[in-house]
Amino acid sequence: MTSLQKAVLYDEVGAPTVLHLAEVPTPVPGDERVLLEVRDVGINPYDAKVLSGRSPRNADFPRGIGGDVAGVVSAVGAGAVYADGTAVQVGDAVFGWGVNTMRQFVVVRAVNMVRVPQGLSFEKAGSLATPAFAANALVHALALPASGTILVSGATGMVGSLVAQWGVRQGLRVLGTVSARNFDRARALGVEPIEYGDGLGSRLASALGDDTLAAVYDTVGEETLAAAVHVNARAMVTIAGDEVAERFGAISTTTTSRDVTMLASLAADIATGAIVYEVARSFELADVVAAFELLETGHPQGKVVLHVS
């Protein structure tokens, strides 16, 4: 008899209240795949877009949800190896990404998994892949300059904070747009905070003085790019979409490339404290509605995570 597990499903697109728990069969891993006993799953803005229908999916209802994941390998399919070619073993603590990960057990491709380094919690590991890949896409599309000053929008957000910290580690002067309540968090990262909102262009010009922007990394949208153009910035990259990028002469990038070597390196840096990565709050699987509501309306200071087991 097939064993059952609990999974987060939804029967129609809409608000977080359409999410519910249901029993579904526990799968068996095929070739080059592993079965994870899920520990923690990060909730991303993309998940909320998919749920609301703003980012359509071509899939039948009921649908699962979730991409990032951390857990323990409980079964291994034939030929399941990590990206470096070493064999995955039952009992390995791993993290990475998959499909419909908000459930107790999920089958994932072995090459999409990375070992959890010592000192890194499952909740941080299970929420890392998506923001890490988005941040990496920005600096891949527009390399961090060797010197000078950069601007990062949303510099205390999950994506922006990674780019900002990479810039600080490289010895750059990093300006970051943040809310007033996050000034201290930005300064703790080595970032010079600038409050976003009306008048951003003037505040940015004042902060720069005689300095110029060597590069702009945008995670928010047109407000930051308009302010950057106001101070004659030329090199800009955004993850806000092609239309916004074209309007302001910026590079548009997406997270189509997933570099597991980078992911492993970043996880190690977070484990040692070299890079700061914050979890705002962890929810039990049964409280998934409240978790999504916090993500969408609560302005969490860090990742929102579902703790599964």
Nearest to 172 by CA among 147, 144, 154, 142: 147
For 305, list phi and psi in degrees, rounded to 5.
Answer: -130, 145
For 5, 49, 212, 303, 306, the CA distances from 205, given in Å and listed in that order, are 55, 34, 9, 31, 41
What is the domain partition of the chain in residue ranges? 4-128+278-307, 132-252
Nearest to 163 by CA among 182, 189, 184: 189
pTM: 0.95
Predicted local distance difference test score (pLDDT) of residue 59:
85
End-to-end C-alpha distance for the chain, whole angstroms: 23
Per-residue tens of pLDDT for the chain, all 309 residues? 569 999 999 999 999 999 999 999 999 999 999 999 999 999 999 999 999 998 878 889 999 999 999 999 999 999 999 999 999 999 999 999 999 999 999 999 999 999 999 999 999 999 999 999 999 999 999 999 999 999 999 999 999 999 999 999 999 999 999 999 999 999 999 999 999 999 999 999 999 999 999 999 999 999 999 999 999 998 999 999 999 999 999 999 987 678 999 999 999 999 999 999 999 999 999 999 999 999 998 889 999 999 999
Predicted local distance difference test score (pLDDT) of residue 255:
72
Residue type, 202: S
CATH 3.40.50.720 is held by the domain 132-252? yes
Render pLDDT for 167-207 as a digit per residue (tens, 0 to 9).
999 999 999 999 999 999 999 999 999 999 999 999 999 99
Predicted local distance difference test score (pLDDT) of residue 57:
82
Residues 6+ apart with CB under 8 A from 10: 18, 19, 20, 51, 61, 62, 63, 65
CATH 3.40.50.2000 is held by the domain 4-128+278-307? no
Burial of residue 299 (number of CB atoms within 10 Å: 0-12, 13-18, 19+)? exposed
Predicted local distance difference test score (pLDDT) of residue 1:
52
Predicted local distance difference test score (pLDDT) of residue 109:
98
| SS3 sequence of the chain | CCCEEEEEEECCCCCHHHEEEEEEECCCCCCCEEEEEEEEEEECHHHHHHHHCCCCCCCCCCEECCCEEEEEEEEECCCCECCCCCECCCCCEEEEECCCCCECEEEEEHHHEEECCCCCCHHHHCCCHHHHHHHHHHHHHCCCCCCCEEEEECCCCHHHHHHHHHHHHCCCEEEEEECHHHHHHHHHCCCEEEECCCCHHHHHHHHHCCCCEEEEEECCCHHHHHHHHHCCCCCEEECCCHHHHHHHCCEECCCCCCCHHHHHHHHHHHHHCCCCCCEEEEEEHHHHHHHHHHHHHCCCCCEEEEECC
CA Rg value for the chain:
20
Rounded Cα distance, 139 and 142, in Å: 5
Nearest to 27 by CA among 114, 98, 131, 112: 98
Read off the tokens for 36.
């994870």
Render pLDDT for 108-158 as a digit per residue (tens, 0 to 9).
999 999 999 999 999 999 999 999 999 999 999 999 999 999 999 999 999
Read off the tokens for 25.
């069969």
